[in-house]
Amino acid sequence: MAGSYPWGGRLIAIHIAEQASVEMEELQAARMIEGVGIEGDRYATGRGTYSYKPHADRQCTLIEMETLEALQRDHGLTLEPNESRRNLTTEGVPLNHLVGRHFRVGEVVLFGGRLNVPCKYLDELLGRPLFNPLLNRSGLNCRIIQGGVIRPGDRIEPV
Amino acid sequence: MKLLMPVEVVAARHATPRVLHLTLRPTKRAAFPAFRGGAHTILVLPDGKRRLYSLASDPAAPETWDIAVLHEPEGNGGSAWLHAEARPGTRLLASFPQQNFALAEGAARHVLIAGGIGITPFLAMLPELERGGADFVLHYCARSRAEAAFLPELEARLGPRLVPWTDGRRLDLAALLAGARPGTHAYACGPARMLEGFSAATTHWPDGTAHLEHFSGLRREEAHQGEAFEVEIASTGEVLPVPADRSLLEVLRDAGHPVDVGCEYGACGSCLVEVAGGEPIHRDVCLSPEARRTRMASCVSRGKGRVRLEM
């Protein structure tokens, strides 16, 4: 379990989208607003695909770089960090084990609310059959417990 | 790829009194993604309306895109809004290029047929034809010279390879397309009646040599109506009735399913849903027969009895 063995990873990339379906943009620094979302991101401003059914766990979403690499390796499918629709791309972080746990990204504290569920919507948006290959590894939906500014390269570790 | 990009109008001028010529640039990337002549973009207006416009500029100049917008007072407001409001600085969203229409590789000769505002996709094909030294002719039909957008420039550029049909001179599609010479490909873009004429005139052409681009699909009042049917959501077993006076798209969205609203006439593919069973009645103009085996356009298409959706 993530809480019972030491792990540590890092933040590789930060992406936000201003609105549902809009291409994501990469940030070199992002302001994480406690209880709201990432400054400028669609789920902080109520303009996301799922904003019509708000949920605290959508404040920030994460995906493992290892998953994106596995899609290429195992399925020949390219999914770049800026296409994943997830905000934070991580390396060396066991995201599936962080449901119900607090963890730190740089100076920010997140709470793993629930596993992200892939959506057919992504297949339509990108024109690639990603739904099945992403099942059970589509990332983690989180609440922002303690806000702050994060940057690529920040350490990610248990609280 | 249906991703949207934030764009800004950098130039707006009238090509004719009814045709607004807009130049767009992406605000968050250096250049637009690559496309081939014939592609269109889905433009998202500030009120969320989505409209399809052919890309009319040279694909080799990806820093900007040109589109041309015909003012359609009878339409549902997309073109009227752009004519009234679009000016340098106006912010919009534009989709990645949608490529359903393009020049055939290796064709010996290309016969291009444009009707009115249907000239736009051909404007983006001309650079490819000219650079490749292709054998081609462009027939351009319009009510009058004054209403034929870009006609003087095209005449100067193409000389005898442009054949204008205006002011009472009518193109006889059946006669033009009667003989299908080997290696010749024909392309049409224009009003529905012209496309019907083109389809009828090319029934004897070999498969894959007659290409058309739809500017409009079902008329708005027809698009939302039809026989009542029902859909079952495969993942949950939920059954939703689609009454005769509503579209599947409206019913799905009301039930909380995140399906995009697009052109709402079956042309843009924004609202496609995956079919897991049952018998859809397809009324779109965007899906290939192959694609129709597994998907349907929820804005216009309906079904017999119960259709099962993979959602």
Residues B24 and B69 in one domain: yes
Chain A interface disruption, residue of B1, B288, B311, most A CBs within 10 A:
B1
Specify if B230 maps to a domain. Answer: yes
Chain B interface disruption, residue of A16, A22, A122, A130, most B CBs within 10 A:
A22
Contact at CB, A22 and B5, closer than 8 angstroms: yes
Radius of gyration of chain A (CA): 14
Chain B residue with minimum CA distance to A20: B4
Q: Any idea what the CATH number is for the domain that residue B242 is in?
A: 3.10.20.30
Which one of B213, B240, B260 terminates a domain? B213
Q: Mark B120-146 as b/e (b = at least 16 C-beta within 10 Å).
A: bbbbbbbebbeeeebebebbbbbeeee
3-state secondary structure (DSSP) of residue A127 = coil
Which one of B168, B184, B213 terminates a domain? B213
Specify if B100 maps to a domain. Answer: no
Nearest CB among A22, A83, A125 relative to B93 is that of A22
Q: pLDDT tens, B252-281?
A: 999 988 888 877 888 778 889 999 999 999
B113, B190 Cβ separation under 8 angstroms:
yes
Chain B interface disruption, residue of A125, A128, A132, A135, most B CBs within 10 A:
A125
Nearest-Cα distance to chain A for B219, in Å, is 25
For B21, B52, B113, B214, the CA distances from A66, given in Å and listed in that order, are 46, 38, 50, 43
Specify if B104 maps to a domain. Answer: no
- Give the per-residue pLDDT at B213: 85
Q: State the residue range of the domain holding B186.
A: 109-213
Q: Any idea what the CATH number is for the domain that residue B206 is in?
A: 3.40.50.80
Nearest CB among A23, A124, A127 relative to B4 is that of A23
Residues B194 and B227 in one domain: no
Q: Mark B275-286 as b/e (b = at least 16 C-beta within 10 Å).
A: beebebebbbbb
Residues B192 and B119 in one domain: yes
Residues B131 and B188 in one domain: yes
Residues B117 and B167 in one domain: yes
Residues B83 and B117 in one domain: no
Domain count, chain B: 3
Residues B73 and B133 in one domain: no
d(CA A24, CA B289): 33
- Residue A69's φ and ψ, nearest 5 degrees, are -70, -35
d(CA A81, CA B1): 16
For B65, B89, B97, B113, B214, the CA distances from B54, given in Å and listed in that order, are 10, 21, 9, 15, 10
pTM of the predicted structure, to 2 decimals? 0.84
Residues B168 and B74 in one domain: no
Nearest-Cα distance to chain B for A56, in Å, is 18
Chain B residue with minimum CA distance to A47: B48
Specify if B76 maps to a domain. Answer: yes
DSSP character for B32? P
Q: pLDDT tens, B48-93?
A: 888 889 999 999 999 999 999 999 877 767 889 999 999 999 999 9
Which one of B33, B65, B95 terminates a domain? B95
pLDDT band at B294 (very low <50, low <70, confident <90, very high): very high
- Give the per-residue pLDDT at A121: 79
Specify if B103 maps to a domain. Answer: no
Tell whether B45 is within 8 A of chain A (Cβ). Answer: no
Q: How many CB pairs under 8 A join A and B?
A: 39
Specify if B284 maps to a domain. Answer: yes
Specify if B61 maps to a domain. Answer: yes
- Give the per-residue pLDDT at B221: 64
Contact at CB, A124 and B6, closer than 8 angstroms: no
3-state secondary structure (DSSP) of residue B301 = coil
Residues B149 and B176 in one domain: yes
Task: Give the mean pLDDT of chain B.
Answer: 92
Residues of B in contact with A126 (CB under 8 A): 1-3
Nearest CB among B3, B260, B274 relative to A23 is that of B3
Specify if B101 maps to a domain. Answer: no
pLDDT at B284 over 90: no
Q: Which regions of chain A are under pLDDT 50?
A: 2
How is residue A16 written in tokens? 């936000």
- Give the per-residue pLDDT at B83: 95
B227, B244 Cβ separation under 8 angstroms:
yes
Chain B interface disruption, residue of A120, A128, A132, most B CBs within 10 A:
A120
Nearest CB among A18, A49, A125 relative to B3 is that of A125
pLDDT band at B216 (very low <50, low <70, confident <90, very high): low
Q: Any idea what the CATH number is for the domain that residue B90 is in?
A: 2.40.30.10
pLDDT at B219 over 70: no
Residues B118 and B205 in one domain: yes
Per mean pLDDT, which range of A61-75, B207-221, B239-253, B288-302 is the poorest? Answer: B207-221
pLDDT at B22 over 90: yes
Contact at CB, B310 and A53, closer than 8 angstroms: no
- Give the per-residue pLDDT at B217: 59
How is residue B41 written in tokens? 């973009």
Residues B231 and B295 in one domain: yes
Contact at CB, B310 and A120, closer than 8 angstroms: yes
Chain A residue with minimum CA distance to B259: A121
pLDDT at B125 over 80: yes
